[in-house]
Chain A
């Protein structure tokens, strides 16, 4: 049986901000504990957003507001498509489109820090996009379908045949979750170099929209992690949830251990890792005729 259907998509639409916001707070709490600090409340993200909503909005231009809304809409669109069980390629392209809106938003501000952040964000996208597309291809080779619904109905979990893709996806999640590298990151840490990255020229309610979009995005990303585990057995659902949680913990650990990664290292290591983990896994699948034809 599959859970990927419209009711789940509607559930995502309503619940993702709460789940995403809670895990964002949990993330900060666990990070703080790893650093030997008490850390903020797990509901801190909600406090932050509710405060931002009450602040005055100082817009640089009106286009920016429109583009931020575009970012939110397309991130939500991506997630809804995913949880409705639609085509994985379309989902990843929608995610990229959302990313482009986010970048355009900053470049429209025409400010030095935003411009720098735009360059680095584009660099980041170049670093992680190959792995994202490879993941979609990998799912196709293994299950014979791009549809999330059918992938989740496979006889055995996709991860059995695509461990390399799984590791590669975890690797790019570090970038997607805005954890590392520190000189692009727009996370809630003191270790950022480019002021606030793409958010430098946002304030008040518009900034709150960006935060909420990130929550939606994060829930979707962990959904993809879950998709590696899901199969047509019911027990795969709790296993998928446990794996998601372990990956969540692992990402925080990586963030805290590699706090000083710069974008050059990120760029090189991501491509090398993509080739080692993703491409080799794909070659093995094709050469040995594993997976569904």
Chain B
């Protein structure tokens, strides 16, 4: 069968969602941010909630998320997205409101906003892209940087004794009463992508039910900051990030999975 006989509208099984704008993504080749953007937009499209969804972009590489997602968006000062989302959701409780944040944004400068929005159980969704580094500013150490991991501010590798150990903010927020659904996902391979998409759908559906805050961490790569090719960074992530940041649900229906 000729390729041109296959490429016909009736045989279409996958195409880019129209909820991603035509703008070229500003991310480095192979960066997981693009995949997470696309999955969120695919879910918003499939749920038919484009007109009712409001996203809050962070400071970090994804600061321009509002240019790439064809929904209403705002952008918050560094780390303050959960506070902005709180205000918007309280004014428009029927809208689907999410933040999109990196690890420097969410787990360093924005720790206070993150913890307290989670503790209050704001009825929002937090999408947290953890690449273990400050990607945008040139690969500085983040609170999530692994022990021994090199960054521009830990050139000999993170030393837990002098720099403190990395911490798992996702496990931490799962302890708080206000969080309803907390999970850790990845988007580097087809299987994880399909699982991550289901988690995004579940999180947004929970907003309809006013169940409280849903929190999804995506362990992701920063091939530029880690100084690797995209595929090498994905292998390195599996071998080094996943043992410390294990995949899977941490809290479901308001109950800790291993509690």
Whether A and B are associated in the same complex: the answer reads: no
Interface residues of B, Cβ cutoff 8 Å to A: none
